[in-house]
Amino acid sequence: METLAIISQLSVYALSLLAVALCVTLFRRSQQPAWLFVSVVFIQPLCALVIRAIHGRPLLHFMSAQVSPDGLQRIRYTVEFPVFSLVAIIGLFILVRKIQHERPVA
């Protein structure tokens, strides 16, 4: 379970990097600066990671520990699925393919 929790936390950052790369590709192909503003949405998790690193906090929050009333320690794992990022990346990928078919690179 711990491995799945870590992978789900790291996938957010990997998908963010992929989304930023797709936005930059769309900007280069279409020359519309709005794609750079869209990429800011996906940079936010990476900025939060850098801020946590600067302040010395744990980089990944995938586990929390609590003590139950009978004195036993309970460990809970947080598994988050980045549905928004996945759907957005699929949409960005479709747009990149559409632009590539319409306008070949010179």
- DSSP per-residue string spanning 37-73: HHHHHHHHHHHHHHHHHHHT--S---EEEEE-TTS-E
Dihedrals φ, ψ of 97, to 5°? -65, -40
Mean pLDDT (the chain) is 86
Give the domain extent around 25: 2-102
Residue 105 has pLDDT above 70, yes or no: no
Domain count, the chain: 1
Cα separation, 34 vs 38, whole angstroms: 6
Q: What is the pLDDT of residue 57?
A: 83
19-71 pLDDT tens trace: 999 999 999 988 888 988 989 989 998 898 899 899 988 777 777 778 888 88
pTM for the structure as a whole:
0.77
Q: Closest Cα partner for 100 from 22, 34, 33, 45?
A: 22
pLDDT given for residue 104 in this prediction? 62
Residue 14 in this model has a pLDDT that exceeds 80: yes
Provide, rounded to the nearest whole percent, the portion of the chain with pLDDT above 70: 96
